[in-house]
Amino acid sequence: MLTRITTALLATVALVGALLTLGPPARAAVPDTIPLKITNNSGRGEALYVYNLGTLLTTGQQGWADAGGTFHAWPAGGNPPTPAPDASIPGPAAGQSTTIRIPRFSGRIYFSYGQRLVFKLTTGGLVQPAVQNPSDPNRNILFNWSEYTLDGSGLWLNSTQVDMFSAPYAVGVQRADGSTVSTGHLEAGGYNAVLADLRARSGGWANLIQTRSDGTVLRALSPLYGVETGALAANVMDDYVNRVWQKYTTTTLTVTPYADQPGTRYYGRVAGGVMNFTDASGTVVTRFQKPDAASVFGCHRLLDAPNDAVRGPISRTLCAGFNRSTLLVNPSQPDTTAAHFYQDAVTNHYARAVHAHMADGKAYAFAFDDVGQQESLVHDGSPRQAYLTLDPLS
């Protein structure tokens, strides 16, 4: 249950981070539902199933939306969990498109090839798939999901690799002026290139890849789940973290967490094994214990980021710096120059590989990958239509 809760929190944190990065959207009238065009360019012959699951923003109820955009609340769950109603929507065949409507909602659009996903309900709500668990009923299904929020301020829609790298897809939005923007496409051959990169990397990164008994590669787990399951060594980031901690015993780390507030700065120094951050007056505003790999990859635990004005923004910046390995080469953070990222031998090689093979370089490969606007996100304050395009596994 803990890993399932972590999955949901990471998805929420990633999307909230995107909202903070982009700032207030343009105010515009947004209809109760908008069309989502789903195009199946995967080349796969299996049946495709689509799900729109999440939270109704007006009431806070969890549930699902049908193809017409009508919301249905989940029934009460149980302990042990009980099967959820079948919320699947028939998806388009290979080479075809289908348009559904999505309501004012915050949640996920799942899609699966060949089999319906298994969802269950507990007394606390929906149990999301957690394929890092060997007994999860969805472990041997090829699937993925996108995350979105549609509210009175517009649409935020992103592709995500925070939990896993799997069946590729891109997202897009048609703006009020008729123009269209998209992100999330891999470069030609990018899917296999990411997997090959992980297989070639020493240190256990190949262990993140999960394959079905018929030989189908299903996904590469995020390094957070790799550490949690033992697929990746728990000390995989120790050398880098130790070097960072040593550097900032004699050097000051300056964090400017808000791009639009360059005068808001915090200053970090390590003393007694703890990194203390002070404000301009010299007052300690927060402190961090030396993080382990799980804290770095998950941007949580020892790098927890509450939704506040001080610790959260500092932690987001640290998390991005550790994952991108920019903290040793630049004492002023965040470093938003992509050419500086992932240059140390000890880094988040999963995030490095995913970004390297994206057509536009954008991805959500860890929870705060939106620091410096590196995330694969589209947004419009008055969207006319959204797009989900499923790409080949090649």
Would you call the peptide bond into 80 cis, given omega within 30 degrees of 0 as the criterion?
yes
Same domain assignment for residues 89 and 62: yes
> Is residue 377 within 8 Å of residue 26, measured between CB atoms?
no
Q: Is the domain of 277 the same as that of 316?
A: yes
Residues 6+ apart with CB under 8 A from 67: 89, 100, 101
Q: What is the pLDDT of residues 211-242, one digit of tens each?
A: 999 999 999 999 999 999 999 999 999 999 99
Give Cα separations from 370 to 13, 16, 258, 295 (angstroms).
Answer: 10, 10, 12, 17
- The answer, yes or no, to whether residue 8 has pLDDT greater than 50, is no
* Count of CB atoms situated within 10 Å of the CB of 158: 26
**Do 76 and 32 belong to one domain?**
yes
Amino acid letter for position 145: W
- Looking at residue 307, its pLDDT comes to 95
pLDDT at 20: 43
* 275: DSSP letter: E
pLDDT value for 13? 42
* CATH code where residue 261 lies: 3.30.920.50
Average pLDDT over residues 5-21: 43
Cβ(232)–Cβ(223) below 8 Å: yes
Same domain, 93 and 219: yes
Q: Is 3 helix (H, G, I), strand (E, B) or coil?
A: helix
Residue (of 362, 365, 271, 258) closest to 317 by Cα position: 258
Q: What is the CATH number of the domain that holds 42?
A: 2.60.110.10
Catalytic residue among 32, 86, 136, 147: 147
Q: Is the Cα torsion angle 43, 49, 55, 59 positive or negative in sign?
A: positive
Task: Give yes or no: residues 377 and 340 share one domain.
Answer: no
Same domain, 107 and 202: yes
Q: Both 224 and 302 in a single domain? A: no
Instruction: Tell me if residue 32 is catalytic.
Output: no
* 60 and 26 within one domain: yes
Is residue 139 located within the same domain as residue 248? no
Pair 189, 334 in one domain: no
Task: State pLDDT tens for residues 117-162.
Answer: 999 999 999 999 999 999 999 999 999 999 999 999 999 999 999 9
- Judged against a pLDDT cut of 60, whether residue 26 lies above it is answered with no
Mean pLDDT over the full length of the chain: 93
Burial of 363: CB neighbours in 10 Å, binned 0-12, 13-18, 19+: buried
To the query of whether residue 187 is one of the catalytic residues in this protein, the response is no
Task: State the total domains in the chain.
Answer: 2
* Whether residue 29 has pLDDT greater than 90: no
Do both 365 and 379 map to the same domain?
Answer: yes
Residue 288: both structure tokens together: 């961090």
Instruction: Write the DSSP string, 179-233.
Output: -EEEE-PBPTTHHHHHHHHHHHSTTTGGGGEEE-TTS-EEEEE-HHHHHHHTSS-
| Predicted confidence (pLDDT) at residue 3 exceeds the cutoff of 70 | no
Q: Answer whether 119's CB lies under 8 Å from 52's CB.
A: no
Report the pLDDT value the prediction gives residue 58, as an integer from 0 to 100: 87
* Res 394 pLDDT > 90: yes
Query: What average pLDDT does this structure show over 18-34?
Result: 62
Half-sphere CA count of 227, side-chain side, radius 13 A:
17
Q: How far apart are the first and last CA of the chain?
A: 33
Express as a percent the part of the chain with pLDDT over 90. Answer: 92
Is residue 53 classed exposed, middle or buried when 0-12, 13-18 and 19+ CB atoms within 10 A define those classes? Answer: buried
**Could you list the residue range(s) of the whole structural domain that residue 277 is in?**
238-345
Question: Considering 345, 360, 379, which residue would you say is the last residue of a domain?
Answer: 345
Here the tokens at position 92 are 């388009």
Do 291 and 327 meet the contact criterion of CB atoms below 8 Å apart? no
pLDDT reported for residue 28:
54
Nearest 10 degrees: Cα torsion 42, 10, 138, 358: 20
Residues 14, 120, single domain; the answer is: yes
pLDDT tens-digit profile of 289-346?
Answer: 999 999 999 999 999 999 999 999 999 999 999 999 999 999 999 999 999 999 999 9
DSSP designation for 26? P
Q: Which of 163, 292, 335, 369 is catalytic?
A: 163
pLDDT single digits (tens) 62-116: 999 999 999 999 999 999 999 999 999 999 999 999 999 999 999 999 999 999 9
Question: H helices then E strands: how many in the chain?
Answer: 7, 24
